[in-house]
Structure 1
Amino acid sequence: MPTRSRPLPGLRPLALAIALAACAGAPPTAQAKKHHAPSDDAAPAGQACPLGTFICPPRPVSYAMCRPNALLSFYQPGLPRDTLGRETALTDVHAVHANASDRQVYHLSGRVRLQRYDQLLRADDVTYNDRTTAYDAKGNVRYQESGLLMSASHMRGTTTPEHGVADDVNYQLLSSRGNGKAKTATLIDKQHSNYHYATYSTCDPDDRVWEFDAKSIVIDKVSGVGKAHSAVMRYKGVPFMYLPYFTFPVDDRRKSGFLFPMIGHSSNAGYMLSLPYYLNLAPNYDATITPQLYSQRGTMASGEFRYLTQGSHGILDFSYLPSDQHAHTDHHGNVRNDLDNGANRYFINYQDYTRLPGRWSFTTHIRHVSDRYFFRDFSNDLVRSSSSVLHSDAYLRGSGQWWSASFGADRYESIDQRLTDSGLQYKRWPRATFNLNIPIDERLQFSMTNEAVAFRKNDAVEGNRLDIYPKLAMPFQGAAWYVRPEVGYRFTGYQLLDGYQKYGYTEKNPTRSVPIVDVDSGLIFERDADLFGHHYTQTLEPRLYYLYVPYRDQSNQPLFDTREMTFDYWQLFTTNRFSGADRQMNANNLTAAVTSRLLDDGGVERASVSFGQIRYFTPQRVQAYGAETDYSGSAYVAQGTLNLTDKWRLTSSYQWDPNNRQTDVGTVGFQRRLGANGIVNFSYRYRDQFMEQFDVSAVYPLSDRWRLLGRWNVSLRDQTTFKRGAPKTIEALAGIEYDSCCVAVQLVGRHYVDDEQGDTNNAIMLQIQFKGLGSFNPQTEDFLRHAILGYQ
């Protein structure tokens, strides 16, 4: 039977186990959870994001599908998960037989077990020389520490200094799932080891889908980096790549090296191949350099630089393609644009946030593109998005207990070949704001918004605008009621620059002063309700909102940044239907609305329905464009949500205009979760004289490993006449994902309309991830999280 004894006389503390510790290829940070699963990496991916979330967070790399492997069969739970007490701990020894006849050489045999703190050594036979600190372990050698499991047939070396050689090695790095085999392993010291004629993989040791074998592999625990010399990558035993030298991570720390390549194709740029290289420059800044080869365009150099300091953080992106020989052709029927072949193409994006003394900060977001065709030509690889305008700004911002302020500028740049500079928004060059929110006493509140802007644009009226809007509010409320009266006074003044007369304005300094009075009131009734076997609290919330704004003639004021906002339910309770300060609507209105909700026992809203309308007592004389109207009421607005379980959600809205006796808006949206990794979405959107579309998207799990992706967005109306015609596909997307223990593959194809003329483009993208060999390029995943509601 094994015997338990006190430490052997003169034996260095756990001499044999300390030597074996040098085999560890990663810092001892893995935390054992249970037998066969000591690594936290095996935990399932994060919980699914709530239904209705527009953009879900990315899924972390998961090893949840890895099988419990045979190498971990000797894992011993319960050992410490750190190395802090190793130097002062005593050694506990078990063996069937112990022989130390000469008091110098100790021989242990028969289920030998030596443990000191987090280190555990087991073997059939161990010999140790107390004078030279030489050791020799034979037969079923097994070693465990907080970050490593290792087995060998034979191991010898010394503990002072620490050095050893092991034969026929199997090893497992618990903190990174790295594992492999080696003919021999040389233990240099506690932090460094060298494996000769070795393999490495993060797959299950008995099912290595991918691995590389190398002449030598060096593990450096200090830097968290492994180095392989003369390595061959294999997929299911088939070699596909030779690398004379490369590095890879052995823990979760960042490291420099190549990321996974990306392969794609698009109609405008041809075949694309990118090979990113990551530079871990310092703990607080890094960079990624990405050469991209386009078969129809040439070679583009792209890069990203990130930094984080005590007072600021930011990012710089750039892309540059010299001498584009096809710049003059947009590849849609060889249509010509105003670029010359051989033009240099580039894009720059810079963002920064810097904290300043006190409660001040400075934010910058600058974007610039070489030409307005850049995103049309190079956004087709699924990883870039384009709109019609690039917005740049820089602002100094501050805030206190009752105030906030800002000073900066906004600039706009066209990236649409049909949008001329005259159609761009005005530059706000500069813009300043100052806002107050001061409680005068327990009931009376004073607030004030102030804005001063200089508007600049070529070939248009230019000028400066000051907008001041002080308000007093005195809310009253109880447990089931509220009344919130508010009175304000809005002053807006202009200073137009010389030349304003040629644009039809007759006054250099027009002004507008107008009082604004509103009263918001409501009641809240509650009752118990039982539906479908569940208990709910049902509310009934009638609401009245009165608004009075006298009419002011504003026809002599320019429209710098004002648009009429889209009418929806929340527009029933606002003081102005225009954005910006150039127009303030007149009003003598009363809004009547009612809302009913179902709340579960946890207070979560499971269903709601709202209905309301504005009644007009005076004509609506202030208009941004067109003549005044004299309607007796606004459109009837209804909206509702139904979410009785966490598996599905239904949303709907509807607007019917009694003045035109037609539907203005109608939408229906449905979302259903399929298991833990799937989702299906359907939406129908109608807006009179603007669009009628339906959109279907899904992530369908075929199994734990395979998922199908799809989206189909279809327009049912002709863009010019708004008549029903042949449905036109706006975007069609199809893809497939494969995720296994150590390999993930994503293939996505996309067909989409990329301009208002209806021109279409096709793109395809393939990404492969070998888990544990470096960061995965998440660009296709970023696109899918924006394209498919609920994708994760």
Structure 2
Amino acid sequence: MPRARDGSEHARDGCRTKGLSDSLTPLRRRLIASVKPKSLLPSRSLPPRRLLAIAAAAALFSSQGAHASSQTKHPKATLNGSEVVCPLGEFICPPRPDNFALCRPNGMLEFYDPFLSRDSALRASANTQVWADHVESPDQITYHLDGHVKTVRADQELHADVADYNSDTTDYDARGNVNYQEATHLVSADHITGNTGNSTGLASGNVRYQLLDSHGNGTALRAEMLDADRNRYTMASYSTCDVGGHIWELRAREIDTDDTTGRGVAHSATMSMYGVPFFYFPWMSFPLNNDRQSGFLYPYFEHTSRAGYQFRIPYYFNLAPNYDATLTPRYYSRRGAMLSGEVRYLFPRTSGQFQFEFLPHDNYNDQKLTPTSIDTQGRQRYLYRFVNTTSLWPGWSLNTNINRASDRNYLRDFGDDLFSISTALLYSSVYLNGAGNWWSASVGGDIYQNVDPSQPNSVEPYKRLPRATFNMDIPFARWYDVGLTSEAVKFHKFDQVEGSRIDLYPYVDADFRGAAWFIKPKLAYRYTGYSLDSGYQRYSYYGALPLPADPKAKSLSPFTQSNPSRALPILSLDQGLIFERSTSLFDTHYTQTLEPRLYYLYVPYRNQNNLPLFDTAPMAFDDWMLFAPNQFSGADRQMNANNLTAAVTTRLLDDGGVERLSATFGQIHYFTPQKVQSPCTVYDGTPRQNPNGCQATTDWRGSDYVVELSTQLDDQWTASSEYLWNPNTRQTDLGTFTVQRRLGFDGILNFSYRFRRGLLEQYQASTVYPLTERWRLIGEWTYSMRDKRTVEGLAGVQYEGCCVKVALVARHYVTGYYGVIASLPPGQKPPGSDTAVMFQLEFKGLGAFSGQTESVLRRDILGYQ
């Protein structure tokens, strides 16, 4: 069978017809070689597919083009561009693979047969089918085929005007309009000669080729088949654009391809766009498939006012199938040279990654921008992150998450998005975790680092070293469970009261339910005990002494016990009904549910003013607080309660069981006042607001009314809202509204409003608006009504053609922790802002690295893909 790989495949055994009669008439006949040719070699197996990796602008620097796989596993790019659309309401959608749907329909070489088998493993056992107008064999060894020659074996098909074949030497010679197809290649030429025994051959005259897996195609003066896996093209071109319509093209004196490595190598190559050369490479490497490969990734350009112009050129190291690395040299025009990198590994019992950024010498004085900034000129600046999970033995693992920065200005100076610069604390932890069928346990510790330049380091939460937990839940007697939630912690913080705490929470609960009802009683007992370190008398949970000389501040007394404790029972009863009926809306049939629910909670009051506040703060009231046993995070406070929550939910379910609408209304009724509180002020020389919030005593009879509504009546619209109204103050405490509209296949429109009384009021709008099939406008805008300023704004344009993608994006964002902006006193100047401009150019098929621009857009625009 002729095998024309990459324009140099040649007739293998397709005309081996030994034993056929010479007296055939000159009519078109169908000949079938019923005996497997002796020279037929077993078909080779293609290299295994691995992770998507490699990008080609790296070649801009005469390097090995490469592609690094992203942390998200992508579906393989298909020639027709098929892919899964990101569902409505998703927060972050995965990046799309290379999409060749915009290429010319059926943009193959004209002889492509889509019905030919793509399984090359069938060659070894397949018969060769031969068609020709005339067949001559004077010696039963040499065969001459003339007129409409066609041979087919498994995934291989050859067409020619004339072909000669020697069954002893397996030499072949095909002439005139030679077209060849196999599982991965198409090739056409005026003349192909070769030997099927050793898989060598030569194609000449108007050579054209196409790679079916990567959409690559081109032309050559000559194509040579070196062996079954390697090919060489002389005076050749290569592109992934439409055949005959190359927007970009690589022209080289010589191009070598190797299917075992999945790489192509071009010698003395020139890169051109729209026929205009713009780079020359003495040598470059590029991918032939989606396998992971070492080399440079796409460069990245950006400008910010705090760091100046930035240039990055990542280099990817494909070290092994289970570990790799990326090094990224960077240069900041204001601050100097930086090296960043990432190492990833995956072994049978451990996996993880290490990321770092290191600037050996900062050339810039931040005080030129902000007088209150820390002077970092001449200092080393760094940031690193280490995440690891190790399986020690069955049921037990060691989990590590370390995040550290050189100083609290780092993220503001080098962050280029709102997510980075709004991070106020870096969290680090190491835990040994274990779990079984009815239990779980952990031992370890966690610490925080302040990375908010507007706050002192005293805002860091307590270090919890060590910390141990043990939880169990054991079912018995069909309906019942007995369980325990427990924690033991040692707390450390400079110039604050320190000590240990143990929290025990045993319980017994039951779950009685039927098809349309449920009753879930629960009886628990909570004990929390402390052992405070020496010197505890010098502190209160308002701060260090001396206390203010204010008669009204009598409650600001120091701790008087080294071993305070609290113990109390907790009783709850959760019950509900579920009614269903058939209904219709807009001529569509639905199943409507009505689900009333009552939740009673009783917790006796205990005075807890003698207990320290280590890791506890009041939680903002929200819908899920309707059924929560405590309104405080952490174990230092347990609210008193004699409450009854009444709520009702209704849903609309379509015939497929999809929830198209859900509405909930509820409120808590307090039979006794809420007495347990956390301080509203702290004292560190002068009274100030507690940064952890406060919860004052109240005699309100009822909580906020809670209303929730979400709907997705079709596949184009989704909307959700939440509203909290306080009947006592007659004010709105919280209001949110989000709506999302899909525009065509890949367009999206989002609008949201967020309000929390005393904290924030924001509008946000974002869109990916398809102007045409190829052009998209991108925009995002977040505005704070409280601060009368834009928190973040983004505008850009994208173009995607058959083989090229271009993006230009400009971003404007605040350069301070946004939580600080919301709490600034009236008249105080808020943090500054910065502007970044990002440009990205991608040549499809030379790599699918999404780049910094893509990651920013996926994070900032809900549903971007």
Specify if TM > 0.5. Answer: yes
Pick one of 829, 836, 860 that aligns with 1:763.
836
Select between 749-758 and 383-392 the one with higher mean Cα deviation.
383-392
Would the alpha carbon gap of residues 420 and 500 (structure 1) be closer, same or farther in structure 2, given more than 3 Å must change? same
Tell me which amino acid in the other structure corresponds to 2:835: N
The equivalent of 1:207 in structure 2 is: 245
The equivalent of 1:683 in structure 2 is: 752
The equivalent of 1:196 in structure 2 is: 234
The equivalent of 1:397 in structure 2 is: 433
Note if contact 1:27-1:147 (Cα within 8 Å) is conserved in structure 2.
no
Give the distance between the partners of 1:457 and 1:730, measured in 2 at CA. Answer: 33
The equivalent of 2:201 in structure 1 is: 164
Give the distance between the partners of 1:98 and 1:439, measured in 2 at CA. Answer: 82
The equivalent of 1:134 in structure 2 is: 171
Tell me which amino acid in the other structure corresponds to 2:815: D
Q: How does 1:254-403 map onto structure 2 within 5 Å?
A: 254-326=292-364, 328-329=365-366, 332=369, 334-335=370-371, 337-380=373-416, 386-403=422-439
Give the distance between the partners of 2:247 and 2:87, measured in 1 at CA. Answer: 34
Give the distance between the partners of 1:460 and 1:369, measured in 2 at CA. Answer: 24
List per-residue Cα deviations over 1:674-713 (Å, max 9, x = no partner): 1111111111111111111111111111111111111111
The equivalent of 1:786 in structure 2 is: 859
- Tell whether 2:801 aligns with 1:747: no
- Tell whether 2:184 aligns with 1:147: yes
Would the alpha carbon gap of residues 597 and 8 (structure 1) be closer, same or farther in structure 2, given more than 3 Å must change? closer
Would the alpha carbon gap of residues 774 and 170 (structure 1) be closer, same or farther in structure 2, given more than 3 Å must change? same
Note if contact 2:812-2:836 (Cα within 8 Å) is conserved in structure 1.
yes
Note if contact 1:447-1:471 (Cα within 8 Å) is conserved in structure 2.
yes
Give the distance between the partners of 2:36 and 2:663, measured in 1 at CA. Answer: 81
**3-state SS of paired residue (1:207):** coil
Pick one of 122, 131, 146 that aligns with 1:85.
122
The equivalent of 1:700 in structure 2 is: 769
- Compute the displacement of 1:490 (Å): 0.3
- Compute the displacement of 1:8 (Å): 10
List per-residue Cα deviations over 1:183-241 (Å, max 9, x = no partner): 11111110111111111111111211111011111111111111111111111111111
Select between 296-305 and 771-780 the one with higher mean Cα deviation.
771-780
The equivalent of 1:36 in structure 2 is: none
- Compute the displacement of 1:106 (Å): 2.2
Give the distance between the partners of 2:270 and 2:583, measured in 1 at CA. Answer: 67
Note if contact 1:594-1:610 (Cα within 8 Å) is conserved in structure 2.
yes
Give the distance between the partners of 1:330 and 1:744, measured in 2 at CA. Answer: 40
- Tell whether 2:703 aligns with 1:640: no
Q: How does 1:769-780 map onto structure 2 within 5 Å?
A: 769-780=842-853
Note if contact 2:397-2:432 (Cα within 8 Å) is conserved in structure 1.
yes
Select between 510-519 and 178-187 the one with higher mean Cα deviation.
178-187
Give the distance between the partners of 1:187 and 1:643, measured in 2 at CA. Answer: 57
- Compute the displacement of 1:331 (Å): 5.6
- Unmatched 5+ stretches in structure 1: 30-38, 719-726
Tell me which amino acid in the other structure corresponds to 1:570: W
- Compute the displacement of 1:80 (Å): 2.7
Would the alpha carbon gap of residues 70 and 619 (structure 1) be closer, same or farther in structure 2, given more than 3 Å must change? closer
Tell me which amino acid in the other structure corresponds to 2:802: C
Give the distance between the partners of 2:804 and 2:114, measured in 1 at CA. Answer: 28
Give the distance between the partners of 1:14 and 1:475, measured in 2 at CA. Answer: 70
- Unmatched 5+ stretches in structure 2: 1-26, 51-75, 540-557, 681-695, 822-829
Give the distance between the partners of 1:728 and 1:356, measured in 2 at CA. Answer: 52
Note if contact 1:25-1:219 (Cα within 8 Å) is conserved in structure 2.
no
Pick one of 563, 583, 605 that aligns with 1:551.
605
- Tell whether 2:101 aligns with 1:101: no
The equivalent of 2:827 in structure 1 is: none
The equivalent of 2:739 in structure 1 is: 670
The equivalent of 2:490 in structure 1 is: 454
Give the distance between the partners of 2:293 and 2:653, measured in 1 at CA. Answer: 49
Pick one of 282, 285, 296 that aligns with 1:247.
285
List per-residue Cα deviations over 1:289-321 (Å, max 9, x = no partner): 111111111111111111111112111111111
Pick one of 592, 603, 622 that aligns with 1:538.
592
- Compute the displacement of 1:25 (Å): 11
**3-state SS of paired residue (2:538):** helix
Pick one of 538, 559, 562 that aligns with 1:508.
562
The equivalent of 2:700 in structure 1 is: 631
Give the distance between the partners of 1:8 and 1:184, measured in 2 at CA. Answer: 35
- Compute the displacement of 1:426 (Å): 0.9
Note if contact 1:403-1:435 (Cα within 8 Å) is conserved in structure 2.
yes
**3-state SS of paired residue (1:422):** helix
Would the alpha carbon gap of residues 198 and 485 (structure 1) be closer, same or farther in structure 2, given more than 3 Å must change? same
**3-state SS of paired residue (2:458):** helix
CA RMSD of aligned residues (A): 2.2
> Identity rate of aligned residues, in percent?
51
Note if contact 2:298-2:851 (Cα within 8 Å) is conserved in structure 1.
no
Give the distance between the partners of 1:575 and 1:45, measured in 2 at CA. Answer: 48
The equivalent of 1:223 in structure 2 is: 261
Would the alpha carbon gap of residues 384 and 776 (structure 1) be closer, same or farther in structure 2, given more than 3 Å must change? farther
Pick one of 81, 90, 94 that aligns with 1:53.
90
- Compute the displacement of 1:128 (Å): 2.4
The equivalent of 1:423 in structure 2 is: 459
Note if contact 1:650-1:670 (Cα within 8 Å) is conserved in structure 2.
yes
Tell me which amino acid in the other structure corresponds to 2:212: L
Tell me which amino acid in the other structure corresponds to 1:671: Q
Give the distance between the partners of 1:693 and 1:9, measured in 2 at CA. Answer: 77
- Compute the displacement of 1:133 (Å): 3.3
TM-score, normalised relative to structure 1? 0.93
Pick one of 222, 227, 231 that aligns with 1:184.
222
Give the distance between the partners of 2:39 and 2:188, measured in 1 at CA. Answer: 21
Give the distance between the partners of 1:457 and 1:746, measured in 2 at CA. Answer: 48
Tell me which amino acid in the other structure corresponds to 2:805: A
Note if contact 1:640-1:652 (Cα within 8 Å) is conserved in structure 2.
yes
**3-state SS of paired residue (1:50):** coil
**3-state SS of paired residue (1:783):** helix
- Compute the displacement of 1:401 (Å): 0.6
